[in-house]
């Protein structure tokens, strides 16, 4: 922590991107260091909510949201925090993002939605959460074919695609 403070005080750019497209805040989120995350945010660092969601640290995700990160912000691959959390399989972060208003049907540059991310990882609880929130299970460029392929690869995983009839 002392070294980070010293570097910032000496004029280091808190938003500098390295050769792997990481910023100091992305690295701090990856490492799970909440104190450094807080320091960098206080010093004006851009908030990488999708990266924090993909790392699965609920406290850091909550901190970023509380400090103004946009719940539907996208990263370089146009991945949303919700898709990142679904890919990670973190149900608590998914619930938090849904509560905060995440879009359940946004498609990223890889033609993936939160639903396809959760489904391809075999996470039935998250799939059900997304269906309950009204996700379109047929949304992406060729979802049915992609999901059939995934289904064949994951014989033990079954999910029903029929949305529940609303009341």
How much helix, strand and coil, in percent to the nearest 5, is found in the chain? Answer: 50, 0, 50
CA dist 120 and 124 (Å) reads 10
Model confidence at 112, pLDDT cuts 50, 70, 90, reads confident
pLDDT in tens, 54-104: 888 898 899 889 988 889 988 776 788 999 999 999 999 999 999 999 999
Average pLDDT on 122-142 reads 81
73 is in which domain, residue-wise? 48-151
Task: List Cβ neighbours of 50 (8 Å cut-off, separation of 6 or more).
Answer: 73, 74, 75, 79, 80, 81, 83, 84
Q: Are 125 and 91 in contact (CB under 8 A)?
A: yes
Residue 159 belongs to some domain of the structure: no
* Distances 110 to 2, 116, 122 between C-alpha atoms, Å: 39, 11, 19
Place of tokens 């879009």: 103
Q: Looking at the structure, tell me whether residues 143 and 63 fall in a common domain.
A: yes
Write down the residue that tokens 């849904």 correspond to.
98
Contact 29, 46 (CB under 8 A): no
| pTM listed for this prediction | 0.73
Identify the band that residue 161 occupies on the pLDDT scale cut at 50, 70 and 90: very low
Span 18-33, pLDDT tens digits: 888 777 877 887 777 7
Q: How far apart are CA 60 and CA 49, in angstroms?
A: 9
Report the number of distinct structural domains present in the chain: 2
The answer as to whether 1 is a domain residue is no
**Residue 144 predicted with pLDDT over 60:** no
Residue count (the chain)? 167
The rounded mean pLDDT for the chain is 79
54 and 28 share one domain: no
Q: Does 134 lie in the same domain as 56?
A: yes
Instruction: Map tokens 């103004």 to a residue.
Output: 68
CATH number at residue 125: 1.25.40.20
For residue 137, tell me if it sits in a domain: yes
**Residue located via tokens 């998250």:** 126
- 113 part of a folded domain: yes
């Amino acid at each position: 922590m002392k070294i980070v403070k010293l570097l910032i005080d000496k004029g280091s750019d808190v938003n500098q991107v390295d050769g792997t497209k990481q910023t100091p805040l992305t690295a701090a989120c990856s490492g799970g260091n909440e104190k450094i995350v807080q320091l960098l945010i206080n010093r004006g660092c851009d908030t990488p909510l999708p990266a924090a969601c993909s790392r699965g640290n609920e406290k850091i995700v909550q901190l970023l949201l509380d400090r103004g990160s946009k719940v539907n912000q996208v990263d370089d691959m146009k991945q949303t925090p919700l898709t990142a959390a679904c890919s990670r399989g973190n149900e608590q972060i998914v619930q938090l993002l849904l509560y905060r208003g995440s879009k359940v049907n946004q498609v990223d540059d890889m033609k993936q939605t939160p639903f396809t991310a959760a489904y391809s990882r075999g996470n039935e609880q998250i799939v059900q959460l997304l269906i309950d929130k009204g996700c379109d299970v047929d949304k992406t460029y060729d979802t049915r074919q992609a999901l059939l392929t995934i289904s064949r690869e994951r014989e033990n995983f079954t999910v029903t695609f029929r949305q529940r009839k609303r009341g």
